[in-house]
Structure 1
Amino acid sequence: MAKSRKGGGRRPRRRYKRGSGSPGKILALSLVLIAAVAFGLYALYVSNDKPAGHAPGTAQTEPVKKSQSKTPVKEARKKPAEEAPKPPKKPEEKPAAVKAEAAKPTPEPGGEKKAESKDKKAVRDGGIKPRVAIIVDDIGQHKEPIDKLLALEGPLTFAILPNLPYSTYAAEKAHAKGWDVILHLPMEPMESSGYTGQDAGEDALLVGQTKEAIIAQLDNNLAAFPYVEGVNNHMGSKFMENDELMELVLERINSKGLYFVDSLTTAKSVGYKKASSLGMRTVKRDVFLDLSSKGPGYVKSQLDKLVKISEKNGHAVGICHPYNATIEALAEYMPVLESEVEMSNASDVVSRRKEVSER
């Protein structure tokens, strides 16, 4: 029997140093660590793989169809969503003011371009719009046309016959509106014109009268109604050609501080020339705007002529009568005139004519 070691008993078991683990434990810990890392990576992958806009644990209400194109987010932002087709625009309803404007008479072809050029170019006498005066002859016999004329914007110049039923009425109403009032002085016409001295009326100046009688009749006519600022001739184709008698009459008119408008009822009239030589404020008629047998269309065409003359000279004077067709044309066309020229009293045109002639 073998001898036992000193102290007897079993051989002591070999011990590992403290702190060192067995190989089995190390392997187990490694596996646990690898599993934890793998689980973490898996969880991260799953969270990133979920559809955007859905919180964890919430179900997506509608699955994305496979047929949908997978457009990158950045590219999708660049492409705006298609707009729904817009309904056709309804025509804009014009305001009442525009409708009223559209109701104005349309100028003749080429009139629009002409109006634009008028607004752009400067009139040669001062760089402003030309002045146009419209004188209405034969005022005083009837009230209705007077009232219709007074309803227009104007200004108009009333050439009033003396001693008629509504001579004073017309003078007072026109003056109240700031319109010129002038004496429409009856004068003897040529018999060849189809008229006689009697046709001119009992207040007419006649070639056969004495100078004293002519002056007396002139003074009576000037005193027939108030607010007289000037004079133009009624008929007078015979009287207006008489140089001596016209000088007599014009000197009397000038002494009262009045201006004179030569209606040019005859091509041989000496009125304008004589008045100019006397240093008077004077002007002559450029266009007769109407005829008793013509309608509104004729008046409008004559007004166009008047505008063209005013553009050339810086001023123009038209003469018309209180016919229904004339009043109708003026009511429609005067707003158009206002956009092209400066509508004025005859006295203003007389002043403009003097300014231009002195340049």
Structure 2
Amino acid sequence: MGFRQAEGELAHERKETQKLVQEIKQLTVIDDNTSLQKPKESLQDSEIRRLKKELEDLLARERISEEVKPEHEYAPNNKKAPPPPPPERPIRPAGGEAKLVIIMDDVSYARDVKAIQSTGLPLVMSFLPPSPRHPDSAFLAKQQGKYMIHLPLEAVAFHEEEPNTLHVDSSEEEIEKRLEMLKQLYPNARYINNHTGSKFTSDSAAMDKLIRVMKQEGLQFVDSRTIASSKAREATAKYGMRYMTRDVFLDDRDGVANIKKQIREAVSKAKRYGTIIAIGHPRVDTIRALSESKELLREVQLVGIDQI
């Protein structure tokens, strides 16, 4: 099951939505033009409520099924903004291996997992914590064995933040409780990268608290680098931890051709610097571009985050 099947599922949900709309219209017409007894009206009202609830659920799923735009990570108010550049990297020694990690962010639904698996590539899934919109994300992660946590952190400007997002004014105790809960939900997780977080990661005090707690919990931070002024490097250095950061966004622009160009960039950088981290999203174009780039990706070692 890949991106074409995911598109089919969305089409099916739209048909179901249209069907429910018609049923509700018919029931509403009956309600307006008949003189039913009170008990029957009550039953009809109950049926209308049930159908409306079903319709709301379908519409919610349809909205969620629309493609995630990667700009929400670094520039939600400027769709043409390029992602922040990666920090300077030393050139890899001659003869060293070229390794590429591809993290797929925002994994939340079974369709995301199936689409990623359809590529046949060892991609790293980073799961958003469970929420009312995607309650099964932790369950899906546990089925994978290895995975990451995509931790929501406060952004400079983002109006659709996830529940339980950590903010710059979150206390160390709040951060501890959040990470302890996430460790229970994701027992095999050892790596965390940030979901949004441009405001949080650029705040020295906030990052100091987060990295200190992560070290205590045995967790490694991977900087999605949603802002050029990220303080993740300084915070990890202070606590004797390795600094790991995103080097390339694969799908910061729409279109299969653009994403293939970014995949080529990631492969080129892996050869130049030795180890590279790229980030993409389980979008239709991204899945297709990765599936069609297998020959190119054979030029490097495609590895897990724990192998660099």
Secondary structure in 1 matching 2:292:
helix
Q: Aligned partners of 1:256 and 1:203: how far apart in 2?
A: 19
Matched letter for residue 177 of structure 2: A
After the TM superposition, which parts of structure 1 deviate over 4 Å for at least 4 consecutive aligned residues?
Answer: none
Q: Is the 8 A contact 1:132 1:343 kept in 2?
A: yes
State the partner residue of 2:106.
138
> CA offsets, 1:229-288, max 9 Å, x none?
211100010010111121111121122222221000001001133213322133110011
Alignment: residue pair count: 215
Alignment of 1:66-145 (within 5 A): 124-125=92-93, 127-140=95-108, 142-145=109-112
Q: Is the 8 A contact 1:259 1:347 kept in 2?
A: no
Check 1:224–1:126 CA distance in 2 against 1; reply closer, same or farther (3 A cut).
farther
State the partner residue of 2:196.
235
> Which consecutive residues of structure 1, in runs of 5 or more, have no partner in the other structure?
1-122, 350-359
Secondary structure in 2 matching 1:134:
strand
Matched letter for residue 175 of structure 2: I
State the partner residue of 1:172.
142
Q: Aligned partners of 2:221 and 2:245: how far apart in 1?
A: 8
Q: Is the 8 A contact 2:102 2:278 kept in 1?
A: yes
> CA offsets, 1:36-56, max 9 Å, x none?
xxxxxxxxxxxxxxxxxxxxx
Q: Which has the higher helix share?
A: 2
Deviation at 1:156, TM superposition (A): 1.2
Q: Aligned partners of 1:262 and 1:124: how far apart in 2?
A: 21
State the partner residue of 2:307.
348
Q: Aligned partners of 2:287 and 2:125: how far apart in 1?
A: 13
> CA offsets, 1:214-238, max 9 Å, x none?
3222322333233112111000100
State the partner residue of 2:19.
none
> Which consecutive residues of structure 2, in runs of 5 or more, have no partner in the other structure?
1-90
Q: Is the 8 A contact 2:270 2:276 kept in 1?
A: yes
Q: Is the 8 A contact 2:264 2:296 kept in 1?
A: no
Q: Aligned partners of 1:173 and 1:300: how far apart in 2?
A: 29
Larger Rg: 1
Matched letter for residue 207 of structure 2: M
Secondary structure in 2 matching 1:251:
helix
Deviation at 1:128, TM superposition (A): 4.0
Deviation at 1:310, TM superposition (A): 1.2
CA RMSD in angstroms, aligned pairs only: 1.9
Check 1:130–1:266 CA distance in 2 against 1; reply closer, same or farther (3 A cut).
same
Matched letter for residue 276 of structure 1: A
Check 1:128–1:208 CA distance in 2 against 1; reply closer, same or farther (3 A cut).
closer
Check 1:150–1:130 CA distance in 2 against 1; reply closer, same or farther (3 A cut).
same
Matched letter for residue 142 of structure 2: E
State the partner residue of 2:123.
156
When normalised by structure 1's length, the TM-score is 0.56
% identical aligned pairs: 30
Secondary structure in 2 matching 1:223:
helix
Deviation at 1:172, TM superposition (A): 2.5
Secondary structure in 2 matching 1:325:
helix
State the partner residue of 1:85.
none
Secondary structure in 2 matching 1:238:
helix
1:260 to 203, 214, 221: 221
Matched letter for residue 215 of structure 1: E
Greater relative contact order structure (CA < 8 Å, 6+ sep): 2
Check 1:333–1:136 CA distance in 2 against 1; reply closer, same or farther (3 A cut).
same
Secondary structure in 2 matching 1:261:
strand
Q: Is the 8 A contact 1:187 1:235 kept in 2?
A: yes
Deviation at 1:203, TM superposition (A): 1.8
More displaced, 160-169 or 263-272? 160-169
State the partner residue of 1:92.
none
Q: Aligned partners of 1:225 and 1:239: how far apart in 2?
A: 23
Secondary structure in 2 matching 1:206:
coil
Secondary structure in 2 matching 1:137:
strand
